[in-house]
Structure 1
Amino acid sequence: MTWKNSQISNKFPTYRNSAFITTHSWLEGKRKDDNAEGLWRVHDSIYDLSDFINKHPGGPDWLKLTKGTDITELFEAHHLTSTPERILEKYKVRDAKEPRNITLSLKEDGFYRTLKSRVIEKLKTIDCKKYSARSDLIHSSILALSYIFSMASAFYESKILGIIAGLFITWTVIIAHNYFHRKDNWRMYTFNLSLMNYKDWRVSHVLSHHMFPNSYHDLELSAYEPIFCWVPNPFIKNFTQRYISWIYFPFVYTVITILEYIKRTVYSIAKGVNLIEPNDALSLTVPLAMYVVNSSAPLKVLQLWLIILLSASFTFALIGLHAAHHLPENLHEGDAMRDNRDWGLYQMDTIIDRRDLKGSQFLVLTHFGDHTLHHLFPTLDHGILPHLYPILYQTIEDFEGQLRECSWLHHIIGQFKQLARITPNPLPPKN
């Protein structure tokens, strides 16, 4: 395996040749590689959804962002009824001229589509609104506490309260991730309190990472590679990334969200594209609320807001980067894959769940819990996912898959081992 090959696609991603990798360059590269003929591709057919953009129930951005790309995996994972397939057929233009670039499979009788059909039937027996309402209540409460502690930190000029506020903002942002996978809603905007942007993350997290985790197509890997490299490839990983990263990671974690904002701003100016959204201004509502309770000390308010941002960034990275994927036991680009290239099995091979989160809807929401099921069915509320385990276990048994779990400490230690690893695993995941 070299820098110029990818094991899940026919082409090495064009965007990875960019000197400055962003969501914009990722999408541009994907449009060049996907054989979608400038329109939208699903499986081996080309569709023109231009007239459907503003009718899309999930909101227009999903189709605006993905025009010119292959949305097969995205379409399959985000639609759990037969209605979207019937609508899609109305917009078919022709069969595709070239084969798909992505070589993972979604066969009708394969693991993922079998599991999906069983989940659709199971959902009919679950009171989904009840569990979703509980998630909404948790989110609203954490959001309120984020502002309360931020304002309290300003009122009492307390750094400790600022750090606590940063923790609540972290949880707010992670819970917001439960919502931006779905149709447009107000809760997804609360992701922006951290200086990150939900729309930017809809590309890097939903379109990229969720569909192709731990591969060269995973933007959440490539975006970190100047600092962290999780791909076990001796041609691209240097000594600093392997070992010195163990020392500097706390400093990087502390400024990740700020660096992301700076990167989007610099790229927007340099390339003349708009990656800065009007809704980015939502992050300013926190210091404004703080200023309301302590208008006599604006510099102190700014200092405390910076503390809140830095502590939120550190906690977000500590939770997010040690949530499920970066372990030596997980499949990464370059490791041997199983013979069955089903997309759902591929997802499971890249994930190990945190067992210490099971059974608590609060912990699952605030710590990226039930990660395997979330990757397989990202539009479902996290409160619903625990009820799908019996079906998942049965389908795993039918297809000889594997659901793995470990502790958070194992994830933290494992990530350092993965950063150091340069030898690809020669054996495929256990069947």
Structure 2
Amino acid sequence: MAPRREDVVPADEARKDVNSNSLPGFKRYPTNRDHPLKSAPKWIKGKREDDAVGPYWRIHDGLYDLTEFAESHPGGKVWIESTQGTDITEAFESAHLGTRSQAVLPKYFVGHAEGPRNSPYTFHEDGFYKTFKRKVRPVLREVGTGPDWPMTLIQDGLASATAVSVLAACLLDSSAFAVLGGVLLAMTSMCAHNFFHQRDNWRMFLFDLTLLSSYDWRITHGLSHHLFTNTIYDFEVSILEPFWEFLPKPEKNFLQRYGSYVYEYLLIPSAMYLEALKRICLVLSGEAPLRPENLLPLLELVAMALAAPSLGAALRLWLVLHVACSSWFTGVGLVVAHHHPEIYHEGDAMREDRDWGLCQLDAVRDRVEVTGNLFLIATSFGDHSLHHLLPTVDHSKLKYVYPVFLETCKEFNIPFSFKNQWEMVRGKYLQLANNKPNQCPPGYKSKTG
């Protein structure tokens, strides 16, 4: 049930003006959302304050003590340990497609939660998402949820091609090969994103060969963006502000609406460097631990220094490598799935049926050029609607669930169609310029006036 207007924290108490159309959504404005040093530790800490479940884990209206379960959690203990003290309803429902996890829960039950959830989303048994999950189970029991050999071949092939390009850059002292290596490294990390959504595995650490962190992204991407897409709890929306203001705020100024045509060409190449500097600050301040995989970019530099003509040449090529990587990764990521005036963004009127699956689909678009090609899917965040609904299912298995997905869409009278890549590129700039929240609740993937 949607929270009542009187349940919502007023804007002056929330420390930030929130568009009135957000009132049917979350009960609280996210703690730490506007902190100048936005990070995974601060996001999860803020969510603990907002969810207020003490030392437990909330799932729907129950409180559970999963402390002893962390070590035996099939997906890895990080998912359990990092979410202690929060409401994990959306994560629990989207990560567990079978019934075994539901059967395990009573063992760890400690009591009933007081008060309604902060989140507006529902998971009714007869709703869209639960119905889709029931339909998809027999399919996934037959084909599995892990990677097929073509997927591992793509991932390992990209990592190998990156290594060869970087070696060539060092031996030939070639910036051109460093740029090629950077693009391949970006594709490698995009593919590795598929793997860090799954249970712990070594391929997910290929993501850390960039200046990003797979551990942090499991929080800011897996637990924030994937579960609360295009809302005020979506870290990947807040981290872009104030330079990319995708929410349709009436107070957006001229520079925020149109300035990205110019300044994004400075920000996109430096985005990963800024993230690395932020992580260094967090480690030095003691707010975040130094994880072994955080050192992989430095090991890259050491390896390049052994092959390059000089340390200076190695450093120059390493910097070029990561500029190219940041440019490709960030540039592609901004235009593939989530930003277009037809797509729901916080501030727009929400649909009356707050089914989590439907709200996910309202905030995603798929590209016609990508679907059906596993390489493009893996390296450009393809099959994005199904990936959001089934984040722990490997990209190589999503093709098998399209029939039941379309069947479920038809059952719930939800039209499903694709956009082309140019429409998404154009839509990004239209959404940045958009300062008029949509007053009409979204009918999934239909134009609204």
Instruction: Report the equivalent of 2:447.
Output: none
Q: Distance in 1 between matches of 2:145 and 2:70?
A: 28
* Structure-to-structure mapping, 1:88-167, within 5 angstroms: 88-126=105-143, 132-167=148-183
Is the 1:264–1:275 Cα contact (8 Å) retained in structure 2? no
Instruction: Report the equivalent of 2:412.
Output: 399
| Letter of the 1:360 counterpart | N
SS at match of 2:276: helix
Give the TM-score taking structure 1 as reference length: 0.96
Q: Distance in 2 between matches of 1:102 and 1:38?
A: 19
| Letter of the 2:420 counterpart | S
Deviates more, 1:116-125 or 1:307-316: 116-125
Instruction: Report the equivalent of 2:223.
Output: 207
* Structure-to-structure mapping, 1:32-71, within 5 angstroms: 32-71=49-88
What are the superposed Cα offsets for residues 303-356 of structure 1, whole Å, 9 maximum, x if unpaired? 011101000000001111111001111000011122111000000000111111
Q: Distance in 2 between matches of 1:377 and 1:127?
A: 13
Deviation for aligned residue 1:193:
1.0
Q: Distance in 2 between matches of 1:347 and 1:162?
A: 38
Is the 1:253–1:314 Cα contact (8 Å) retained in structure 2? yes
Q: Distance in 2 between matches of 1:263 and 1:276?
A: 12
> In the alignment, does 2:95 pair up with 1:78?
yes
Is the 2:192–2:205 Cα contact (8 Å) retained in structure 1? yes
Q: How many residues align?
A: 427
Is the 1:35–1:101 Cα contact (8 Å) retained in structure 2? no
> In the alignment, does 2:444 pair up with 1:427?
no
Is the 1:147–1:286 Cα contact (8 Å) retained in structure 2? no
* Structure-to-structure mapping, 1:210-249, within 5 angstroms: 210-235=226-251, 237-249=252-264
SS at match of 1:355: coil
Instruction: Report the equivalent of 2:104.
Output: 87
Instruction: Report the equivalent of 2:294.
Output: 280
Instruction: Report the equivalent of 2:190.
Output: 174
Q: Distance in 2 between matches of 1:128 and 1:38?
A: 32
Which runs of 5 or more structure 1 residues have no equivalent in the other structure? none
Instruction: Report the equivalent of 2:305.
Output: 291
Q: Percent identity?
A: 38
> In the alignment, does 2:272 pair up with 1:257?
yes
| Letter of the 2:213 counterpart | N
Note closer, same or farther for the CA distance 1:128–1:379 as it changes in structure 2 (3 Å cut).
closer
What are the superposed Cα offsets for residues 262-302 of structure 1, whole Å, 9 maximum, x if unpaired? 112223434x31254221111223223322322x4111111
Q: Distance in 2 between matches of 1:41 and 1:379?
A: 20
What are the superposed Cα offsets for residues 97-123 of structure 1, whole Å, 9 maximum, x if unpaired? 121110111111100000011111111
Q: Distance in 2 between matches of 1:423 and 1:269?
A: 42
SS at match of 1:90: helix
Instruction: Report the equivalent of 1:390.
Output: 403
Is the 2:145–2:392 Cα contact (8 Å) retained in structure 1? no
Q: Distance in 1 between matches of 2:129 and 2:145?
A: 22
Note closer, same or farther for the CA distance 1:324–1:275 as it changes in structure 2 (3 Å cut).
farther
Q: CA RMSD in A?
A: 1.6
Deviation for aligned residue 1:4:
3.4
Is the 2:344–2:442 Cα contact (8 Å) retained in structure 1? yes
Is the 2:162–2:185 Cα contact (8 Å) retained in structure 1? yes
| Letter of the 1:355 counterpart | V
Q: Distance in 2 between matches of 1:65 and 1:113?
A: 26
Deviation for aligned residue 1:96:
0.7
| Letter of the 2:270 counterpart | V
Which of 327, 332, 343 is the matching residue for 2:345? 332
Instruction: Report the equivalent of 2:3.
Output: none
Instruction: Report the equivalent of 2:329.
Output: 316
| Letter of the 2:294 counterpart | D
> In the alignment, does 2:422 pair up with 1:409?
yes
SS at match of 1:283: helix
Is the 1:31–1:38 Cα contact (8 Å) retained in structure 2? no
Deviation for aligned residue 1:18:
2.6
Q: Distance in 2 between matches of 1:430 and 1:128?
A: 30
Deviation for aligned residue 1:376:
0.3
| Letter of the 2:262 counterpart | I
Note closer, same or farther for the CA distance 1:163–1:397 as it changes in structure 2 (3 Å cut).
same
> In the alignment, does 2:205 pair up with 1:189?
yes
Is the 1:254–1:313 Cα contact (8 Å) retained in structure 2? yes
Deviates more, 1:355-364 or 1:17-26: 17-26
Note closer, same or farther for the CA distance 1:72–1:127 as it changes in structure 2 (3 Å cut).
closer
| Letter of the 1:381 counterpart | D
Q: Distance in 1 between matches of 2:239 and 2:289?
A: 15
Deviation for aligned residue 1:42:
0.3
Is the 1:348–1:403 Cα contact (8 Å) retained in structure 2? no
Note closer, same or farther for the CA distance 1:221–1:127 as it changes in structure 2 (3 Å cut).
closer
Instruction: Report the equivalent of 2:380.
Output: 367
Instruction: Report the equivalent of 2:282.
Output: 267
Deviation for aligned residue 1:17:
4.2
Q: Distance in 2 between matches of 1:353 and 1:281?
A: 35
| Letter of the 1:60 counterpart | K
Q: Distance in 2 between matches of 1:87 and 1:283?
A: 40
Q: Distance in 2 between matches of 1:124 and 1:64?
A: 28
Q: Distance in 2 between matches of 1:167 and 1:155?
A: 19
Q: Distance in 1 between matches of 2:299 and 2:335?
A: 29
What are the superposed Cα offsets for residues 375-421 of structure 1, whole Å, 9 maximum, x if unpaired? 00001110110121111111111112233321111111110111111
SS at match of 2:440: coil
Is the 1:352–1:403 Cα contact (8 Å) retained in structure 2? no
Give the TM-score taking structure 2 as reference length: 0.92
